[in-house]
Chain A
């Protein structure tokens, strides 16, 4: 089984530029620089690489919306979204801390594909170790002539900077990220216009997730067909899956897209801890719908998870066991989302705190039956398309699916006026 992204990463260690090059690092870049930008884009398109940040948008297609040409606006920007603040998600951290040059190479190739002159790595505030590692790697890459003017004699110029976020979940939303990077309030922007045409400082910009970008060198080095073949699915490549919760072996594994949920849970995460039963999981971070026992056979790719009523999201799962209170878990999540709302649009700003207050009341044994109706109403009002960005709809996904799959837990809380899992 191929594990191009992580095969050289060892726990606690960071690949230096020499290590990376020894394993074929920057070969993808060399291949790319021999091609035209359009050809690079087409290769990535043919590889069926889809965005790993959560939305799963085809990467090559996204790139193709950037206007290139003599009369196109300049500069153009490429941004690596490393704000990774989705609860339960820590895959980009592994990639940044383990192999920063893979990211840098991916960014240079991607920048070349869209003819971007300037790049930023937008990194989560809390990733202090990653920050140092990237700084060092950037210095190494500059020194090796891989960044800056006339990269490897190709005539292509690309400057890459690290920006550490001030620490808000909303900064992971690509347009809020752009505002934040511009020094403005991290409110999302209305689309259209999309960042591809009016992004950072109003210039054409691509924002890709760190994991997405880390795939790019391998596609260029080994070709689109290879990339498609290492997957078990229509979607190309491998994906870093993660499991947290009360399983035997929580962790991250790079696996082919299309692996089944059961395989990940049982073979890699080792199944539930002794004495605990599996009740459900959030498949792709906190802002995805619960899946339950009945979904264990689904294939983990974008279409497969969607068919089961949830989203692949970031591919890092949070497992719910039978001794953990689902109301408490959802309350914890809604507390997080309510805290992280930027305050721009009404449903999110006012709706999330309301849902949090109601969940707290239920959890504390003061809930009313009509609270469930209000919660259900909120999941609809805060649904997709109704809010300014995807934060609130994402926040509603665990809530709406919890109400669907675990309704009796909520009702017991209300009937018994206490949390049944607390003694």
Chain B
């Protein structure tokens, strides 16, 4: 710690950050543009000027840019010196010479960093009376709107897109006051993190196009802290609503999980909530019509009552997309032995295996954001950009970890981005990508290895064996493979923080075992490896912790035992198992009850459909891939029909006196019941203060102090303002009444602070800028690895993959846009999803004449367009997973091709 003097006040600070970051961390205000805590300092905008004095006698001082200034002991500076204040106002005036001042029609207006800084800097009288320069705007795809005239040339966009996110199709063009930020020609932005441009841009050049289509000002949004449901990482998001529709998703800073950013699937994949496929009232299949017909709430309860009159046996199927509370509520209703996780056997086994590996240790499990600190990365099987996108962004940062040693050695501050990049040049951390398909991380890889999952597992086992000869040996590796094994192993051994990444998407258990073996071998060699495993869905881990039985077992059970009704929770079984298996299950039941928010093939089979809230209209808890439980909160009250699944189920349970225990009406009751049944989940109770929590007797409002139109927004329907809905599940109100100060971190529903209307206000919510949120980042692990364990090696080494003569080994290929069930409802996501195809090795494809081939899969013939890759393993085919035009097939599987 060192002492510095700012405007006469002495502060004790850690000199690790630049002066700007230090000043902001002290809670002082200093305007800036080009600096961003995740992007470092480049000193281009000249906005964060302060006066620096050279010694006690220096009265004059000189102007320096705080972002470029290291903090040194005894330094004396002034933020408020009149000359430097003038300078900052002059800089804003210069920036404004070409800014169109079109705030009223700009989506950024009201949450614009440029507006905030203009006010903060005190420039208000415009002297520039010439024409402003103008630019042509570009079409950048369905997600991002471009309005170049507003640009103030802070260069953040291009630095984020290229240097941070690894994008290549976006740049800065031209020079002087004509610099242009965009693509070389109109076109869809290729990078999966492009949506962050909307938050990185300090003004309205890059804005959220989906938001624009149903725009509302920040102050008119009802917002709640939420968790992204679109993959297993559990990125923190803020969802905003007005008039009953979700208007946008923004990143919610979490210092442990997603940091400042989220991926495009997370940001834009919300529109299913507003879909016309939404189920907004109970539906019962009419006996006469055979169609689902709207009924009232009572009918739902009566339907259950009729079933319960017979003391029925109920079979319940849970969902990896539904909360712990909802799954557990169903489990309570049907009984644990009759509850099944709603996922295929292979998927569930792999998830259970991943949990087992994580728990057993001895490898530490980093959080998503911590993976950025790994200095050697080995990826086994997983194309993370498409299965857990934000992990790809974190690993890209990890690739800078090792080369960062050089700047550190040369006393170049790590925040000095320009100098750091110069010194690093093309150096990267040792980074190995072992996957069947090409990945978007190949560009930073030290070496890539394209092969069948079994062969990747074999190579990985060989790495473990190289590190510790007690690990099982792998025979018959090629010379090249042996060389790669050595290279990987030596790099892992010489690394300070090795990280092994794998996951379930290859549907290959050996990969997970090999990942575990490597960490165990490294531990034997006195290293402290990290392991990070991805799983299929937002609550796959949570569901697996509740029940080990899978969907295939459910079908067996349903066919062998006699059940009266099938209850399916927020799940479309036709996306989980093959069509005929699902049909078989439905055929076995007279009563099929589905709780869902969207019409799908499963609701088509239902006799009763119960309208439940998706994430926007529910509270609940998810457990992410690393075992971190996180709470999401209902954003708005959707009316009396749509309820959280757990609430419906709870009312049915209590209505029939089934639980025989305490009350089940509000969220806290369900958490209580969950923790009682699953003591290992006790952390779920501590995620956030319960619904009784108050600050100075007040609730925490979901609406801002500037929320407008409340008394009139429904006046066209009814002039008397209805009583606002109450939230008995959380300490948050659905209105603007309540404590408008900084809430405890789990309840942050907007980053907003006096003078800081843009997302940059997040600085004020952090203990120190870029670090944890005040009060700690929300979320708690429900299990931790046993780091002192002596878990034995997995000994099963798979046989080497052998191409077959007349059949092909099919694996699923995942797509960030297309493979996920819900995000595809966003028209932009659907637009970017690939059309069905069959991936083949280039040489293999030569044996087929046409562009299209017929594929025999699960006894069904489908025609697919051939896509080739020179590196995709021979003897295999890749089939895009989960596209709406395609059915679900059993993977991995052998298929026949003709054509």
Contacts from A to B (Cβ < 8 Å) = 168, 185, 189-190, 192-193, 197-198, 201-202, 338-347, 349-354, 357, 370, 374, 377, 381, 385-388
Binding-face segment, B173-181, B492-500, B701-709, B796-804: B173-181
Q: Is the CB of B47 within 8 A of A345?
A: no
- A351 / chain B contacts, CB cutoff of 8 Å: 94
In this complex, what residue of A is CB-closest to B152?
A346
Contacts of A342 in B (CB 8 A): 175-176
Cβ 8 A contact of B46, one of A185, A341, A347, A357 = A347
B128 at the A interface (CB under 8 A): yes
Can you pick out 9 interface pairs between chain A and chain B where the beta carbons lie within 8 Å of each other? A168-B175, A190-B42, A202-B425, A342-B176, A343-B174, A343-B178, A349-B177, A374-B127, A385-B64
Q: Which residues of B contact A190 (CB under 8 A)?
A: 42-43, 68, 416, 418-419
A385-B46 CB under 8 A given contacts A189-B422, A350-B95, A353-B177: no
**A349: B residues at CB distance < 8 A:** 153, 176-177, 179
Structural contact, A381 and B87, CB atoms closer than 8 A: yes
B890 contacts across to A, CB distance below 8 A? none
> How distant is the Cα of A387 from the Cα of B153 in the complex, in angstroms?
15
- The answer to the question of B91 belonging to the interface, with a C-beta cut-off of 8 Å to chain A, is yes
Contacts of A341 in B (CB 8 A): 175-177
Q: In the complex, A284 Cα to B175 Cα: how many Å?
A: 26
CA distance A343 to B177 in the complex (A): 6
Distance, CA A87 to CA B95, complexed state (A): 28
7 extra A-B contacts, CB within 8 A, seeds A185-B172, A343-B153, A381-B91: A168-B175, A340-B176, A342-B176, A350-B95, A353-B176, A354-B97, A354-B128
Q: Are A350 and B68 in contact (CB under 8 A)?
A: no
| B83 closest partner in A (C-beta) | A380
Residues of chain B lying within 8 A (CB to CB) of residue A352? 176
Task: Quote the shortest CB–CB distance from B418 to chain A (angstroms).
Answer: 5
Whether A346 contacts B45 in the complex (CB less than 8 A), given A198-B410, A381-B91, comes out as yes
**Cross-chain contact A346 with B42 (CB below 8 angstroms):** no
User: Given the interface contacts A202-B422, A354-B128, does A386 sit within 8 Å of B49 by beta carbon?
Assistant: yes
- What 5 A-B pairs come out closest when comparing CB atoms? A350-B94, A343-B179, A202-B423, A341-B176, A381-B90
CB pair B62 A385 closer than 8 Å: yes
Q: Is B44's beta carbon under 8 Å from chain A?
A: yes
- Does B853 sit within 8 A of A, measured CB to CB? no
Q: Which of B91, B416, B424, B425 contacts A346 (CB 8 A)?
A: B91
Please report the C-alpha to C-alpha distance between residue A123 and residue B533 in the assembled complex, in whole angstroms: 54
Report the separation of the CA atoms of residues A377 and B127 in the bound assembly, to the nearest whole angstrom.
Answer: 11
B91: chain A residues at CB < 8 Å are 346-347, 381
Q: Which residues, 174 to 232 on B, are CB-close (under 8 Å) to A?
A: 174-179
Residues in B neighbouring A347, C-beta threshold 8 A? 46, 90-91, 94
B830 at the interface (CB under 8 A from A): no
B98 interface residue (CB < 8 Å to A): yes
| Distance in angstroms between the alpha carbons of A355 and B440 in the assembled complex | 46
Q: Cβ of B419: which chain A residues have Cβ within 8 Å of it?
A: 189-190, 192-193, 198
Q: Which residues from chain B contact A185 at a C-beta distance below 8 Å?
A: 172, 175
Known: A345-B43, A347-B94, A377-B90. A198 touches B177 (CB 8 A): no
Q: Write out the residue numbers on chain A whose beta carbons fall within 8 Å of the beta carbon of B153.
A: 343, 346, 349
Which residue from B45, B155, B410, B424 sits with its C-beta under 8 Å from A193? B410
Question: Is A343's CB under 8 angstroms from B176's CB?
Answer: yes
Question: A291–B42 Cα gap in the complex (Å)?
Answer: 36
How distant is A75 from chain B, measured CB to nearest CB, in Å?
13
CA distance A192 to B90 in the complex (A): 26
Interfacial chain B residues near A339, Cβ < 8 Å: 176
In the docked arrangement, what's the CA distance between A340 and B177, Å? 10
- Does B63 count as interface, using CB distance less than 8 angstroms? yes
Chain A residues within an 8 Å CB radius of B128: 354
Chain B residues with CB under 8 Å of A340's CB are 176
A127-B164 Cα distance, complex, nearest whole Å: 39
User: A350 and B49: CB pair below 8 A?
Assistant: no
Whether A357 touches B130, Cβ cut-off 8 Å, given contacts A190-B68, A346-B91, A385-B62, is: yes
The CA-CA distance from A352 to B418 in the complex, in Å, is: 24
Q: Find chain B residues with CB under 8 A from A338 CB.
A: 176-177
Q: Which residues of B contact A388 (CB under 8 A)?
A: 43-44, 46
Q: Is B26 an interface residue (CB 8 A)?
A: no
Any A CB within 8 A of the CB of B582: no
